[in-house]
Amino acid sequence: MSEIKRAAVIGTGTMGPGMGAVLERAGIEVALYDVSDEALERARKGLDLARGVIERLETERTEGGDVRFETDLAAALEGADLVLEAVPEKLELKHEVFAEFERHVADDAILSSNTSGIPITKIAEGLAHPERVVGMHWSNPPQLIPMIEVIPGERTSDETIAAARGLIERVGYRASMLNKEVPGFVENRVLYAIMRECLALVDEGVIDAEELDLNVKWGIGYKLAVIPPMQLLDVAGLDIYESVANYLNSELSTEAGVSETITKLTEQGKLGIKAGGGLFDYSDDELAELPAKRAAALVAVRKTLDAQEV
C-alpha cells in the first residue's frame, strides 16, 4: 500500500474533529463527513478546539495537511487512501456505510473502524475486500491521548495491519497491537473492570464517589501513568501478587449486570455532564470551565510523560 495522503473521517460526533486535527497535523488531507450542516458546524468548532490543544502540545507539523467538510458521502470518500469510520455503535449502520465505502474508494484503500468494541470480523461481513478492514480504536479525546488500538479481524491482511501501524507512528502516536479481537478490545475491558469494582464499592457503602475518585487518582492512577500494570507486577514481586491474589480475587466484584448506583441515576435522567449532573452535580460555571481545565491538565501530563518515558 502506498503512503496515505488523503483520509476521510465518516461521522464527526465527539471524536471526529480531534482525529481530523491529528491527521491534518501529520500532513494528510482530511475530509470530515456528517449527515447535516448542523453537525458539521459543531465539528468546525470542535476542530478549532482540537487544533489549539495540539498547538499547546508543540508536536511536529508536516506541511500539506488540511481539513474540509462534506455532507455528501461520495465527495468525502473521493481519492481517500484511508477511511476512518466513527458512526454510532450499531452494527447494521456500520454494514451500510462500509458497503458504501467499497463503492467509492480504490480496492487498496484501508477501511478502518473506530468502534469501541464491535468485532471487526462482524463489521467486515459481506464486503468484497475484508482483508483491508481493520480496527483503529482511538481514545477520547483523540487529540490528546497518543495511543490507538489496532485490532485485526479474522481476514485482515498483514499488509493492512502494517499500514495501520505505520500511520499511527507517522502521526506521532503509539500503536497498541492486539493479536486477536475480543469484545471491548483491551482498553475498554480494563477500564470497565476498574469501573465495575469502583461502583461495587460505592454500591456496598464502603466509600462514597468523591472519596473513591481521590483514592484511585492519587493511589493507583498516579502510579500507573508511570509504572503500568505488567511492569508493576515486577516491581511489587510476583510472589507478593500471588499471595494477595489468592485471597483477594475471590472478594472482587463479579457483577454481570449494571451497578444499582448507575441504574437509579439514569432512571432519574441524571446522565452525567451532558445532563448537568450524574454522580456529581455541576454548576453552569463548572460545566463551562471543565473542558479547558481538563485539557490543560492532560497536556501537562502528556508532556511530562513524553519527556520522562522509561
Q: What is the pLDDT of residues 118-140, one digit of tens each?
A: 999 999 999 999 999 999 999 99
The pLDDT-based confidence of 310 (bands split at 50, 70, 90) is low
For the chain, give the mean pLDDT.
Answer: 95
Alpha helices in the chain (DSSP H): 16-25, 37-57, 73-77, 91-104, 120-123, 158-170, 187-203, 209-216, 222-224, 229-236, 238-248, 260-267, 284-308
Q: Provide the residue count of the chain.
A: 310
Q: Is residue 296 over pLDDT 70?
A: yes
Q: Are 35 and 122 in contact (CB under 8 A)?
A: no
> Cell numbers at residue 220, please?
493507583
Q: Residues 60-71: what's their mean pLDDT?
A: 96
Residue 1 confidence (pLDDT): 59
What is the DSSP code (8-state) at residue 19? Answer: H
- Distance CA(182)–CA(153), nearest Å, equals 10
Residue 3 confidence (pLDDT): 85
Q: Is residue 226 over pLDDT 80?
A: yes
- Distance CA(268)–CA(263), nearest Å, equals 9
pTM metric for this prediction:
0.93
Read off the amino acid at residue 258.
Answer: V
User: Measuring CA to CA, which residue among 297, 260, 261, 291 is closest to residue 273?
Assistant: 291
Q: Residues 132-159: what's their mean pLDDT?
A: 97
**Hey, what domains does the chain have and what are their CATH numbers?**
6-177 (3.40.50.720), 187-279 (1.10.1040.10)
Q: Is residue 2 over pLDDT 70?
A: no
- Distance CA(45)–CA(47), nearest Å, equals 5
Considering Cα of 139, then 143, then 147, then 153, what sign does the dihedral take?
A: positive
- Distance CA(101)–CA(78), nearest Å, equals 10
Cα 202 to its chain centre, rounded Å, is: 26
Q: Residues 260-287: what's their mean pLDDT?
A: 95
Q: Are 171 and 23 in contact (CB under 8 A)?
A: yes
The pLDDT-based confidence of 309 (bands split at 50, 70, 90) is confident
Share of the chain above pLDDT 90, in %: 95
